[in-house]
Structure 1
C-alpha cells in the first residue's frame, strides 16, 4: 500500500470507528466478555493526562486494520507509527476534539519494538502503560471476531466519552477586578503546584511572565509553550525557556517542580555542549527548599558543577516578583493565557479540577 493510499485508508477507517462509537451506548457492551474488567482497564488507559499511551493503542488498532498479521506486542514499529500517526491519525483526532499531541506514540514508545510489561514498568504513569499492554494483549489474543470488534468499539466509545467530558468541563471564572497582582500570583503558584501537567503548567506561566517583563525591549523570550517530552538534547532546544538578543540565545532557564539531580544537570551540560552554548548563564527555576536538597556544595543558591556555574531561583518567589514588575493589564493577560491553556481539550480533567479548586472562592 502506497503512503498516500495508507493515509487515506487510516483517516477513513478511524473516522468510521469514531462515528460508530458515537452511535453506541453502554448497554451495547454488556455482551463483551469480562466487561467490568475491560472497562476498568480502559479507564486507566484513557482517563490520564499522559496521551502517549492512548496514542500507542490507537496506532496499534489502526495497524491491525492495515495488516491483520501486525502484532504490536512483538514489533510495534512494523506499522510505521510515526508516519500513520502524524500524517493521518492526528488530523482525525483533532477534527473530533479528542485530546492528542502531534507525536503521542513516539513520546512513550520511541524506538521501542515490544510493547510488553518490561516496557510498561519504565513508563509514567505505570498503570496507564500496563493498561495499554493489557488491552492490546486482549485484542491480539482474541480469536472470536465479534468479541474482537467489541473490544475495539469499546475503546473508541470510552475515548469519545472522555473527550466529551473534557470539552464540556466548565471552568470557574472569578471576579479578578478587585484582586491584587500578588493575589493572582499566589493563586497561580498554588494551581501550578497542584497540577504541573507534566511540567507544562509552570513552564507556560514562567514564559508568559517573562514575555510581559520584556515585551517593550529588544529581548525575545522563546520556549515554554512546546511539548515538555524529551530532553533538550533530542529536541535541539537550548533550554526550557531562553532569552534571545539579536537572534541569539543569551540566558537559559530550566523550569521544574521535580527533584534536580546530577542526571538532570548532566543532560543540560551535554545539550549545551552539543549546541555550543556552554558559556551562557543557566538558571533553574524550581522549589529550592525541596528540589535541590540532594545536590552537594550549593552555596547562596549557586553550584559550580563540571566547570559550569548553575544558579537556582525559587519558583514561588520568581512568580511573585515577576508579577510585581508588570501592570494590571499584563497580569490579566497572563491570567487569560493560563486559563486558555487549562480550557484546552488537550489539558487533563485533573488539571481542570485543580483550577476550579484554586479559583473557586
Structure 2
C-alpha cells in the first residue's frame, strides 16, 4: 500500500476526498469483514472544514471525542512511520468489535403468538427506540409481512431506510409507504416516537407538495403512527383509542394512530404465517452488524427472561 506522505489532515483534510474514500474502499472493507459501520453522514461533522485542529474540535459535540481525533492526527503527522502501527491497532480493535457484536446476537424459536410478539415490540419501542429506527423498522416489517401473506400485491417501502433519512433524500414522502408494483403510492405513513407537531407537519407538507408536483400524484392523506403524547395540541381529538384524532394542514389531512394500539391490532389481524415471518425478520434486523448495541442487548434480555 502506497501512502501520500505530503497529505495533512490537520490543514488540508479534503485533499483526500474523504467521503469518496469512505463510501468506496473503506466501506467495502467494513462490509466484507462484518464490522459495524453507518453511512457517510458522520463525515458531515467535518463538512467544509479546512483541517482537523483544536478550533474545529471545540465546535463539535462531544468536543472531547473530536479533540481525541485531533490528537491522533497530530500523533501521526509528527512521524509518518507511525501510520502502520496505528492502522494495525485500529483494525484489531474493529475486528474485535465485530466479534463482540456478533456474540450478542441470538437464535430464536419460531413463534406466531400475537401477545408475545406485541410485548416484544412494546418493550423495544419504549426502552430502545434508537432515534426512531426501532418503531420505523417494526412498523415496516409488520406491514410488509401482512401484505406478503395476504398476497395483496402491495409493496411496502421504507424498510431499508433509517429514521434519519429525510423525504428529500429518499425522494419519497413519509417513512413507510404502501405502493403498487409500478411505484404508485397508495398510503403514506409517518412513524415516530417524537412530537409530530405543527413544525413537523409543515416539513412533511413541503415534501409531499414537491412530490405531488414532480410525479403528478395526488397524496392528500398521511397516517402518523405515534404515541398519544406525540400528537399536536391543535389536533381534533376523537373518542377512540387507536384513531386519536386528525389535523388538516392546507389540503392535506394528518390522521394520528396510537402506535401501541395499532401494533396489537395489526398482529392479531395477521395470519400465523405472517406473524412468524415478521418475528424472523425482526430478529434478522436486530442481528445486523449496524443495529445499535442497545437494541441487541435489550432483545437478548427479553429472550432470557
Using the size of structure 1 for normalisation, the TM-score is 0.70
How far apart, in 2, do the equivalents of 1:155 and 1:109 lie?
A: 22
Instruction: Determine which of 163, 177, 186 is the counterpart of 1:228.
Output: 163
In structure 2, the residue matched to 1:43 is none
CA distance change for structure 1 residues 308 and 117 in 2, over 3 Å: closer, same or farther?
farther
Q: Aligned partners of 1:266 and 1:228: how far apart in 2? A: 18
Q: What are the equivalent positions in structure 2 for 1:261-300 lying under 5 Å apart?
A: 261-276=197-212, 277=217, 279-288=219-228, 290-292=229-231, 295-300=232-237
Q: 1:158 to 1:134 in 2, by over 3 A?
A: farther
CA shift digits 1:3-33 (9 cap, x unpaired): xxxxxx6xxx7xxxxxxxxxxxxxxxxxxxx
Secondary structure (helix, strand or coil) at the match of 2:186 reads: strand
Are the aligned partners of 2:189 and 2:223 in contact in 1 as well (CA < 8 Å)?
yes
Q: Residues 110-189 of structure 1: matches in 2 within 5 Å?
A: 112-114=47-49, 116-117=56-57, 120-121=60-61, 127=62, 130-131=64-65, 133-142=66-75, 143-145=78-80, 151-171=86-106, 173=108, 175=109, 180-189=113-122
Equivalent residue pairs, number: 284
**Structure 1 counterpart of 2:14:** 77
1:106: Cα distance to partner? 3.0
Partner in structure 1 of residue 249 of structure 2: 305
**C-alpha distance after superposition, 1:246-278 (max 9, x if no partner):** 531121001112222333222211111111156
Give the TM-score, by structure 2 length: 0.82
Equivalent of residue 210 in structure 1, options 110, 120, 143: 143
Give yes or no for contact 2:188–2:223 (8 Å, CA) kept in 1: yes
Instruction: After TM superposition, give the deviation of residue 145 of structure 1 in Å.
Output: 4.8
How far the C-alpha of 1:346 sits from its partner, in A, is 1.7
Unmatched segments (≥5 aa) in structure 2: 238-244
* Partner residue in 2 for 1:96: 33
Whether the 8 Å CA contact 2:45–2:60 is kept in 1: the answer is: no
Q: Provide the secondary structure at the position in 1 that maps to 2:104.
A: coil
- RMSD across aligned positions (CA): 2.6
- 2:165 is paired with a residue whose SS is coil
Greater share of helix: 1
Deviation at 1:230, TM superposition (A): 3.0
Deviations along 1:96-154, one digit per CA (max 9) or x if unpaired, are: 111123xx233551881226236523xxxxx4x751x2232112322245666555544
Specify every segment of 5 or more residues in structure 1 that has no aligned partner in the other structure, as ranges. Answer: 1-8, 14-64, 122-126
- Counterpart CA distance in 2 for 1:230 and 1:111 is 19
